[in-house]
């Protein structure tokens, strides 16, 4: 059961899906109110405080996306989830564009409902904490100090743990790529402060996966073209979560989230940036993330040898990776291997 009862609003005019979802959530300790149309939903939102609204696209007479937009524009402390068919044309992508925090896809199991709802509520909590942190920093007028970095660490670490929970990446992966990123930043001549911001910001590269549908994020086989387009949205979702802050740490995190899948030759995503148009932080994290992915065991592959991994990355020189930054990393490979040895995966990692 939940320590604090979160109040949820469910919009469903045929009653079947809404009742089933409500039963699952009530059994888990949530408080639920069910309404049958958008007008009743707006009345409830005006009169009561809710943490989350769940809106069934199929049964909302076309007003689901307007409701989602209302939630985020007029009720800034709320999160929104849609219920839709997995193959509903454009519904999931449209919901993401309107700012929905997650999707429950029919037919759904109780575990899916609880998983999507708990992640949406956790993301909402983190965003509210980030907003509070921004306000505190603005009030204190701290700029560029170690004290500001320290004050932000708990929220950032919790945000990164949420991303880990939503993916198959391990805590050790996050730590290693953070250290690899700091190493390259230092080799590239960044100041001590910039290196520390890089170390703290780089783990936020995949926070946007919080908003990727479970059916795509955890699909065991190859993604379809349509599914991959939705997966690629994690870069923009992460940027939206982190952007708009006065914090240098969150600003860098936002740039990294948006740009770490760009490629030096312009063939990456989401914006097809090339060369120096890609923020240097994104170019650094691309190297750190790929090196760790290649050299460690994943559920879908064995670890490649260091030699093979370096060979693969060298083939991507000036294509995938910034050639100068890649050369710095490879020239200092011994230091990277010391980092790797100091942060080994546990026995149950990547299973």
Block mean pLDDT (10 aa), the chain, length 351: 68 80 90 88 88 76 66 76 69 69 80 81 72 56 48 60 56 86 95 89 87 76 87 90 81 94 97 96 97 84 93 97 97 96 70 43
Choosing from 209, 219, 232, 308, the catalytic residue is 209
Distance CA 246, CA 67 (A): 30
Evaluate whether 309 touches 295 at the Cβ level (below 8 Å).
Answer: yes
- The answer to whether 209 is a known catalytic residue is yes
**If 0-12 CB within 10 Å is exposed, 13-18 middle and 19+ buried, where does residue 48 land?**
exposed
Rounded-to-integer distance, Cα 66 and Cα 48, Å = 19
- Sign of the dihedral through C-alpha 262, 267, 273, 277: positive
Give the position of tokens 């909590």: 125
Provide the terminal-to-terminal Cα distance of the chain, rounded to the nearest Å: 28
Please report the pLDDT score of residue 220 as a whole number: 74
User: In which region does residue 350 sit, left (phi positive, over 0), alpha (psi from -120 to 50) or beta (all else)?
Assistant: left
> What pLDDT is recorded for position 235?
94
What pLDDT does residue 156 have? Answer: 64
* Cα dihedral 213, 218, 219, 220 in deg (nearest 10): 180
Which pLDDT belongs to residue 144?
45
Distance CA(74)–CA(51), nearest Å, equals 13
Q: Give the Cα separation of 6 and 117 in Å (integer).
A: 11
Helix (H) or strand (E) holding 122: helix 110-140
The beta strand positions in 260-348, using DSSP E, are none
Q: Would you say the pTM of this structure is higher than 0.85?
A: no
Q: Do the beta carbons of residue 6 and residue 31 sit within 8 Å? A: yes
What CA–CA distance (Å, rounded) separates 146 from 76? 30
Closest to 259 (Cα-Cα) out of 305, 322, 308, 310: 322
Between the CA of residue 124 and those of 131, 210, 216, 318, what are the distances in Å?
A: 11, 11, 21, 39
Task: List phi, psi (to 5°) of 8.
Answer: -120, 145
Q: Rg for the chain (alpha carbons), in Å?
A: 21
Domains and CATH numbers, the chain: 7-122 (3.40.50.2300), 146-342 (1.10.3210.10)
Count CA within 13 A, CB hemisphere, residue 247.
28
């Amino acid at each position: 059961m939940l320590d604090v009862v979160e109040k949820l609003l469910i919009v469903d005019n045929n009653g079947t899906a809404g009742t089933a979802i409500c039963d699952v959530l009530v059994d888990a300790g949530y408080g639920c109110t069910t309404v049958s149309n958008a007008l009743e939903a707006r009345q409830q939102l005006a009169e009561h405080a809710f943490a989350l609204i769940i809106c069934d696209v199929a049964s909302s007479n076309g007003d689901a996306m307007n409701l989602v937009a209302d939630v985020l524009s007029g009720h800034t402390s709320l999160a929104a989830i849609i219920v839709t068919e997995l193959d509903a044309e454009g519904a999931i992508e449209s919901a993401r564009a309107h700012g929905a925090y997650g999707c429950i896809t029919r037919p759904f199991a109780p575990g899916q409902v609880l998983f999507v709802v708990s992640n949406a509520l956790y993301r909402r909590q983190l965003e509210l904490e980030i907003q509070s942190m921004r306000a505190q920093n603005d009030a204190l007028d701290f700029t560029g100090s170690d004290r500001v970095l320290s004050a932000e660490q708990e929220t950032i670490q919790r945000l990164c743990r949420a991303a880990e929970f939503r993916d198959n990446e391990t805590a050790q992966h996050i730590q290693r790529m953070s250290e690899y990123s700091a190493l390259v930043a230092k080799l590239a001549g960044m100041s001590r402060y910039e290196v520390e911001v890089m170390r703290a910001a780089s783990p936020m590269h995949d926070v946007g996966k919080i908003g990727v549908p479970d059916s795509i994020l955890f699909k065991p086989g190859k993604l379809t073209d349509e599914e991959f387009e939705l997966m690629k949205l994690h870069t923009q979702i992460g940027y939206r979560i982190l952007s708009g802050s006065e914090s240098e740490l969150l600003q860098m995190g936002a740039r990294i989230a948006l740009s770490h899948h760009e490629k030096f030759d312009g063939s990456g995503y989401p914006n097809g940036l090339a060369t120096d148009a890609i923020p240097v932080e994104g170019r650094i994290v691309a190297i750190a993330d790929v090196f760790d992915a290649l050299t460690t065991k994943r559920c879908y592959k064995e670890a490649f040898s260091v030699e093979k991994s370096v060979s693969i990355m060298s083939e991507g020189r000036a294509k995938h990776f910034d050639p100068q930054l890649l050369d710095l990393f490879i020239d200092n490979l011994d230091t990277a291997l010391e980092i790797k040895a100091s942060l080994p995966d546990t026995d149950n990692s990547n299973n």
